[in-house]
Structure 1
Amino acid sequence: MANKSNRGTETRVLRKFGINEAYQLDMYLIDQYRGTIFSCRYQIPPYLVPIESRTELEKAVKVAVVDTIMRHPMMQVGVMDATSKTPSWIQLESLDLTQHIKWLYIGEHDDFEQTVQEKVRTRLDDYFPDLVIKQPGWKITVVRQGNAPSMEVLLTWNHAQSDGAGAKVFHEDLLEMLNNAEKGAYERPGLEFDILKLTQAPPLLPDPIESLKSLPVDLKYLARAFWEETRPQFLNRDVSNAAWCPIRSFPDKTQFRAFFVDDVSLLAILARCRQNKTTITGLLNGLLLTAFSWHLDRTAAPTFQSSTMVDHRRNLPPAPPDAPWARCDTSTRLSTTTTQSPTSSDNKTDDSQKWSIIRAKFGLSAEIPAAAIEFASISVAGRGMCQRQLGRLCCRCDVWGTYHD
């Protein structure tokens, strides 16, 4: 299938949006979602640390991003007919990397942590370019201070394009590409300055989850859901509906809260989560739900709802063998260590030149499109305590967890 694009060339439709993809896109279009961020702090190899190596550093990051893009087709595609009932993923001819990779350099006396937090707030509040421009919905912002040995890499994306686990994979792959690249080899096929010409062969996209795994819903559940959506209000006995939730006609700004957990404590917490058949995300949801509940009047808010996300990757079949993203599954790595012989000076030298990740953060900007509190990793509304909110029956809050070693 082909249509004329705004550049006068034929647009190749790769496939229609899946059910969840269409839902995420619609949430963005009605301003329920904006940005989502996965940020990592990268330790820079010593030879790229000096200010004099700034150009070489930027080139090294750019080619590593290009290598990562080519591994993940979802970073290469655009959207067509976004506001229709059947939006589609389309093949793009090229990417202008100046629209996707931004560098922010700050002075030695500036507050680096404050700058990163402000950039996170800005990116979470930002809209992506108009979807008719036909470019992927992701951005990378790199924050660097003077000749510091580390830099912050913020990946922001439209939730229809990826999810949190996908962003984790991106950073893992970016780290791999940085360490595998040959020193000084900054040429890549199709890369001319900041324009990346994509292959003419259509990229192989992952299939929608509903086409890979049966997700049955019985008639009893459908009937109950229909009744809950259509019944008259006077028959609704659900006291968890947040009738007390304020409606404001102005948007609030994102608030940033960070906390740190050392390695030993993190491993102990993770072990207890596994014993109780939950995750750290579920634990954070429960803790925040409890904490916020103390700020609510029992009469006005006798109860409210709680829910958490589920990652279906474990239930899906393996990727096709020819898929560019097919690889052994990996877990979150916040730092990279190498086992070596203590007598090998060559290995020691090589290891000192490696990139590593020393901190990771995740943030989600989302609206809850109901008067009731639905507690996910996005958190909660309260009377006057909403961290971020628009003038609708919804709230927007951000929950941040930083694991630091």
Structure 2
Amino acid sequence: MHSLGVYYGCGVTCRFAIPAALENGGAQSEEALREHFERAVALTVLDHPLLQVGLAGESTQAPAWVRLDRIDLHNHIQWQTVDVDDFGSSSSASNSSMDAALEDVIKVQHDTPYPDLETRPGWKMVVLRSPHLDYVEAFFGVNHANADGESAKIFHQTLLEKLNLLSLTSSAPNDLTSCLSPEGVLTLPSMTASAFTPAHESLVNLSASVPWVLSSALKQIVPAWMRSHPLQPLPWALQRAVPVRTALRLVHLDAAALRQVLDACRCHDTTLTGLLQGMAVTSLAMRTRTTSHDTTTKQKKKSTSHPLPLVLGTPVSMRRYMRRPDASFPSQHVPGPNWTMVNSVTYCFHKYHGRRLSSLYDLAGVVPPTTPSAAFEDALWEQAGHVRRQLEQKLAKGTRNDLTALMGYISDLRGRLAEEMAAERPRDVTLEVSNLGVIDGSGGGRGAAKSKTPLQQTVMALKGCCRSSTSSAVPEKEGVAAQDSAVVVGAIGGEEEQDEEEGMGSQGEKEKWTIERAMFTQSGTPHGAGVIAGLVDDGVAAGLAADLEAWLGSLGRREHITFSGGRVKAG
């Protein structure tokens, strides 16, 4: 996807609160802060093999990792000074200025490919700093060929650990002083193939039955009229091979409201992931009562009209299925899957067709706008619970007959993707929700990650875009992200397998580094989820974003959920 110019990667941006000892102000202090931060980045790179390698033959059918001797950190870390009014670190005006600058950085970085992959590792950082604020915003982006979204979270957790490690000592660790030059060139230690991070298929048992493989193959080649629920082009979200262009809009939900949302999820036996998916499909159904007329050969004698299927997607981490560290993680630095940067993710589909989808479309015709409706609210929660149950079923199945096992049967993935885009094949997914799970922002280190801390947060993104996907996990302004003319949401709270109670708290102690906020973002994907900026009907996209903000806000105030937007004629 990177070599085709249709997807460049993902990233996590964290707001690091600066310890009092490093925020005294002045040019000398700022220089010390930068040196401290870059040394911590260097230590983080040394912990993760996939941050140390180049990629050769990216556009071929036999790409390979290349061991590098050194990395010039100045090619990977950019510092930007943001001018904000000196109203103090708690000023909303100053924070808004920083947020505006950060949004611009994220959009530009996600639209920029990774250069010189054979001689440079596929990662980058942009650190935003204002002397008037007591934090830095650090964007970390990674080529998805190197690692997944959870790996970007792990990078920041490792970085936080290294920042505090350096703060505890007056001099740099021996393994850093010997390999990091004053010019920022990091000399890498020798690495054997056996010490390198194992590949996904080596970490996870991807067993596949012959009937399942044949069935999956047949679904790709049989005519559409023979499929029980064939995907059809959505008239308001066509697939086109357009250049990547990421957009971003944040919708905020404060911490108090988020607690109420999570409580409501528990009462309805679902999670924040399920709730966002339920809200998304309900909003789309109520705003796009699009139907198709089946006039295929088989149905010529009797033409029927039915709603176009909607398919939601939820990426699922496969780290829980990885083999034990002593057998699969030879690197002495990384103690197991939860601290290993790797690319190991699968997918769960939530298909809406037939009676389930028709009931939502029927509801769209009877709910009076701006009027609370028990039927409407019940329908939304029913969808949220449905998603939760499907995720539980997916997790219970384990790795047997998993989608990623099919990759080994495709000889030319790049060519296949190019053909699908050229043929304007119907999209597999209408809208996607990504959830990275819990991030520990307390600065407690790996040993403390198992215990609950005030700043543990969940980083989540609801992605319905070709142009953007983001999320925000913030103690003060929990974030839901959407796009200018598309729709994405990010929020914090909890994942289907994680404790959602963790996620809110006050600022950490000033004597150590802490993470106050995190945002998960992805590059635009022209071939991906169907709610696409610039291509999707503006009313559908803007309406979906407005619904998510209004409905989450209503739950946060313990009010009834109301559909208050005008219906949109899609097409």
Distance 1:78 1:309, change over 3 A: same
Provide the identity percentage: 26
Q: Deviations over 1:293-330 (max 9, x none)?
A: 43324225532212211111011123237521116958
CA–CA separation in structure 1 for the residues paired with 2:144 and 2:221? 29
User: In the alignment, which residue of structure 2 is the partner of 1:316?
Assistant: 322
Q: Cα distance, 1:247 vs. partner? A: 5.3
Distance 1:305 1:380, change over 3 A: farther
Q: Deviations over 1:111-167 (max 9, x none)?
A: 2111111111111111110334x2111001101123310110000110111111111
CA–CA separation in structure 1 for the residues paired with 2:70 and 2:225? 56
2:104 partner SS: helix
Distance 1:354 1:73, change over 3 A: same
Q: Deviations over 1:200-253 (max 9, x none)?
A: 243722212222332222233222222221123454553542242335675474
CA–CA separation in structure 2 for the residues paired with 1:155 and 1:191? 20
CA–CA separation in structure 2 for the residues paired with 1:316 and 1:277? 28
User: In the alignment, which residue of structure 2 is the partner of 1:7?
Assistant: none
Please, what is the CA RMSD of the aligned residues? 3.5
The answer (yes or no) to whether the contact 2:245–2:524 under 8 Å persists in 1 is no
User: In the alignment, which residue of structure 1 is the partner of 2:513?
Assistant: 355
Distance 1:51 1:241, change over 3 A: farther
Distance 1:386 1:98, change over 3 A: farther
Q: Cα distance, 1:265 vs. partner? A: 4.9
User: In the alignment, which residue of structure 2 is the partner of 1:117?
Assistant: 103
CA–CA separation in structure 2 for the residues paired with 1:250 and 1:309? 24
User: In the alignment, which residue of structure 2 is the partner of 1:42?
Assistant: 16
CA–CA separation in structure 1 for the residues paired with 2:519 and 2:308? 33
Whichever residue aligns with residue 319 of structure 1, its letter is P
Q: Does 1:188 align with 2:177?
A: yes
Equivalence map 1:54-203=2 (5 Å)? 54-109=30-85, 111-132=97-118, 134-181=119-166, 182=168, 185-186=171-172, 188-192=177-181, 193-202=183-192
Q: Cα distance, 1:352 vs. partner? A: 3.0
Equivalent of residue 332 in structure 1, options 420, 435, 439: 439
Which stretch shifts more, 236-245 or 116-125? 236-245
CA–CA separation in structure 2 for the residues paired with 1:224 and 1:97? 48
Whichever residue aligns with residue 55 of structure 1, its letter is E
CA–CA separation in structure 2 for the residues paired with 1:278 and 1:80? 44
Equivalence map 1:162-311=2 (5 Å)? 162-181=147-166, 182=168, 185-186=171-172, 188-192=177-181, 193-202=183-192, 204-236=195-227, 238-244=229-235, 245-246=237-238, 251=243, 253-263=245-255, 265-266=257-258, 269=261, 280-299=272-291, 302-311=308-317
Structure 1: which 5+ runs fail to align? 1-26, 340-349, 388-398
Which stretch shifts more, 360-369 or 307-316? 360-369
Whichever residue aligns with residue 100 of structure 1, its letter is H
Q: Cα distance, 1:380 vs. partner? A: 12
Q: Cα distance, 1:279 vs. partner? A: 5.3
TM-score where L is the length of structure 2: 0.55
Distance 1:238 1:329, change over 3 A: closer
TM-score where L is the length of structure 1: 0.75
Structure 2: which 5+ runs fail to align? 86-93, 293-306, 340-437, 452-507, 542-547, 553-571
CA–CA separation in structure 2 for the residues paired with 1:325 and 1:296? 48
Count the aligned residue pairs: 349
Tell me which protein shows more helix as a share of its residues.
2
Distance 1:55 1:285, change over 3 A: same
User: In the alignment, which residue of structure 1 is the partner of 2:304?
Assistant: none
Distance 1:29 1:273, change over 3 A: farther
The answer (yes or no) to whether the contact 1:292–1:382 under 8 Å persists in 2 is no
Distance 1:58 1:120, change over 3 A: same
Equivalent of residue 7 in structure 2, options 33, 42, 45: 33
